[in-house]
């Protein structure tokens, strides 16, 4: 089996609700993620979708659209000079297909408050959808659209594959759902999660992930804490440094035709990971004859060579959702 495409026998639902006719879901519960001391405010939101078409139809790797309303869509108040009224924002589904409730009646999101300053005026800028979601309290409604996305899902017959999941920050969202889903189904393959955060206080779902790792020796959970740990060159410890550190095991695993590499989070990590794949001789990036991509990390982000690398990515086994 080479292709990891999603089975047509288990159709993936998309666009069940649109911006013109969203589903008015209700927030069931929320909890802060990470340590209270973290300057980042991240929340896990459990949203009730009972009785809607979303029930049982939301897979990890897909996203839901959020339609902020009220004061959050008001540009005078949110500090943004763009009018965002009526525009959706996408958030990755962080729960397994059966939801955190086990029956598909809820769907969960992982949301970090976006707080910033206007570069010119120095005024406070609040991310519209993230602050709207983080301020919502249990019992209040949230207009949802979607789900969207068919290209970042677990493959057909997920138990027959091995996985390397690489996340930075809130990019952990889909992997939380996928890991829970895999182990609920009795997964016995090999799965790695390499997770990058600035500090130990920023580890999202830390207890859950540690518990999964303790319960399943086939789950390898590796953290890269960029501002607390150093790589062998004395720089920040990034996910790509952890991949390199575990190269002996990972490259063997990624050589199996049934293995897949999933990347989710910051766009910047892609470059380091692609450079590592080329250096380590992985076939997930097909280096064209006569080309040497072993020193890719020296290339500027706007170098046309990166476009070629992207073109030579194995799209059936290397999936990404990076922003």
List contacts with ligand NAP (CB under 6 A). 91-92, 110-112, 168-171, 173, 196-198, 226-227, 236, 238-240, 264-266, 268-269, 272, 321, 323
Q: Which is nearer to ligand NAP, 91 or 205 (CB)?
A: 91
Q: Which is nearer to ligand NAP, 43 or 293 (CB)?
A: 43
Closest contact distance (angstroms) between CB of 224 and ligand NAP is 7
Residue 8 has a CB neighbour count (10 Å cut-off) of: 8
Residue whose C-beta lies closest to ligand NAP:
169
94 with 59: CB under 8 angstroms? no
Q: Determine the Cα–Cα distance for residues 10 and 51; give it in Å rounded to an integer.
A: 21
Closest contact distance (angstroms) between CB of 9 and ligand NAP is 28
- DSSP state letters, 205-252: THHHHHHHHHH-TTEEEEEEETTT-B-TTSSB--HHHHHHHTHHHHHH
Q: Which is nearer to ligand NAP, 143 or 189 (CB)?
A: 143
Closest contact distance (angstroms) between CB of 90 and ligand NAP is 8
Closest contact distance (angstroms) between CB of 289 and ligand NAP is 29
Q: Determine the Cα–Cα distance for residues 205 and 229; give it in Å rounded to an integer.
A: 20
Classify 173 as helix, strand or coil.
helix
Q: Which is nearer to ligand NAP, 78 or 170 (CB)?
A: 170
CA distances from 145 to 54, 111, 136 (A): 9, 16, 17
Closest contact distance (angstroms) between CB of 235 and ligand NAP is 10
Q: Which is nearer to ligand NAP, 23 or 175 (CB)?
A: 175
């Amino acid at each position: 089996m080479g292709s990891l495409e999603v089975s047509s026998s288990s159709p993936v639902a998309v666009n069940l609700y649109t911006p013109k006719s969203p589903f008015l879901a209700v927030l069931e519960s929320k909890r802060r993620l990470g340590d209270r001391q973290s300057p980042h405010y991240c929340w896990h939101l459990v949203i009730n979708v009972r009785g809607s078409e979303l029930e049982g139809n939301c897979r990890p790797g897909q996203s839901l659209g959020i339609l902020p309303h009220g004061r959050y869509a008001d540009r005078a108040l949110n500090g943004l000079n763009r009018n965002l009224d009526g525009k959706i924002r996408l958030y990755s589904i962080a729960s397994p297909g059966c939801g955190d409730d086990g029956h598909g009646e809820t769907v969960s999101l992982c949301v970090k408050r976006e707080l910033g300053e206007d570069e010119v005026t120095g005024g406070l800028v609040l991310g519209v959808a993230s602050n709207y979601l983080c301020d919502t309290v249990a019992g209040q409604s949230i207009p949802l659209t979607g789900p969207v996305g068919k290209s970042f899902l677990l493959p057909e017959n997920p138990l027959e594959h091995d996985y390397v999941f690489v996340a930075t920050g809130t990019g952990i969202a889909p992997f939380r759902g996928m890991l829970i889903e895999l182990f609920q189904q009795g997964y016995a393959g090999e799965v790695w999660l390499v997770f990058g955060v600035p500090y130990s206080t920023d580890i999202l779902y830390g207890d859950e992930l540690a518990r999964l790792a303790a319960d399943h020796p086939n789950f390898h959970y590796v953290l890269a804490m960029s501002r607390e740990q150093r790589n062998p060159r004395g720089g920040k410890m990034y996910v790509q440094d952890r991949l390199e550190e575990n190269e002996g095991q990972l490259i063997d695993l990624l050589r199996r035709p049934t293995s897949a590499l999933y990347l989710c989070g910051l766009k910047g990590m892609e470059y380091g990971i692609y450079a590592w794949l080329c250096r380590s001789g992985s076939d997930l990036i097909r280096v064209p004859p006569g080309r040497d991509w072993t020193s890719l990390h020296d290339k500027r982000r706007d170098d046309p060579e990166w476009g070629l690398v992207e073109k030579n990515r194995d799209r059936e086994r290397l999936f990404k959702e990076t922003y």
